[in-house]
Amino acid sequence: MMDTNTQPVSVVITAYNRPDHLLESLNSVINQSIEIFEIIVVDDCSPTPLKKIIDEFPNSNIRYLKSEENLGANHSRNVGINHANGEWIAFLDDDDVWLPNKIELQLLSLNSVQDAIGATCSYKFLNDGRDRDSMPNGTVVELEKLKVTNSYCGTSGFIVKREVLLKTLFDEELPCGQDWDMLIRLCLIGKVLFDATPLFLYRIGSHEGITTKAKRLKVEDVYPRLKSAYKHRKWMGEKAFKQRVSAQILSFIFQKKNKIKWVLTSISIAGVNSTLIVLVNKIKNKIM
């Protein structure tokens, strides 16, 4: 077993109103192949009691923090960062599950690359076991590729040096795209490693996650979801910016009502060319 005494890992779990999922997530952390230094569960003011789940692990190194008001997952992550004591901080959403060797493999990679400040990885879909389509395996996340896609994973794959995160907190103004935003900012200051091997399970389905909410989104409510793209518009350049905006507007287009209205909204903001490119790609993916 890897000696983690000299590189302790703090795990921040963001939790809201899903005790059954939280229990699975906690077990996946506790059952890692290497010992975790501490687990910080940040409850985003859940109406459903979550403390009883923590109490099922009386001999563990879990700290439970409950916010006094519902302020979102990014706020919860920042609370966890500010309370963590480990050299490394890893993040896990309460509805996702780590595979047993997730942290061990990431630390091995981080120890092998000089000046690496963090790492991320691909995942499998928990519901059906499919691998996520991600970037090919590579050593370092490439900024240029981030301009056109975020195929480097979600927040539950992140592990980052604590000293870096204290200076690069999650942007609490972003309702979505926080993993993409964080990756960009991290890559602008240091090396972030990527492993195409799926190291966690990502849950999609009927739960109240970002993905599910996006399917029910009204056209007039899409504009706040574009904040991350507008934030990095100058860095991205107009072509990449318009394609990302169009992709966000047209996400889950086949499941949405008022499809024509969504397409017209994309055209009005991102233009005809970007909208057509995104639509053609979505049709190809649906057919394939």
Q: Please say whether the structural domain 9-202 has been given the CATH code 1.10.10.10.
A: no
Please calculate the CA angle 141-147-150 and round it to the nearest 5 degrees: 60
pLDDT above 50: residue 208:
no
Q: Which residues contact 221 (CB under 8 A, 6 or more apart)?
A: none
| Cα 288 from Cα 276, distance rounded (Å) | 18
Q: Which residues contact 246 (CB under 8 A, 6 or more apart)?
A: 266, 269, 270, 271, 274, 275, 277, 278
- For residue 180, how far is the Cα from the chain centroid? 8
- Is residue 158 over pLDDT 80? yes
pLDDT grade, residue 137 (50/70/90)? low
**Does the structure show a pLDDT above 60 at 206?**
no
For the whole model, what pTM was predicted? 0.91
Q: Which residues make up the CATH 3.90.550.10 domain(s) of the chain?
A: 9-202
Tell me, what's the pLDDT at 232?
Answer: 97
Q: Residue 195: is its pLDDT beyond 50?
A: yes
* Residues in Cβ contact with 147 at an 8 Å cutoff, skipping those fewer than 6 apart: 235, 236, 237, 240
Q: Name the packing angle between helices 259-270 and 238-249 (round to 10°).
A: 170
Residue bearing the bigger pLDDT, 223 or 212 = 223
Question: CA 275, CA 53: separation in Å to the nearest integer?
Answer: 45
Q: What is the structure's pLDDT at 131?
A: 67
Report whether pLDDT(181) > 90. yes
Helices 272-287 and 238-249 cross at an angle (nearest 10°) of 50
Instruction: Tell me the average pLDDT across 269-274.
Output: 96
Listed range (34-38, 147-151, 281-285) with the worst mean pLDDT = 147-151
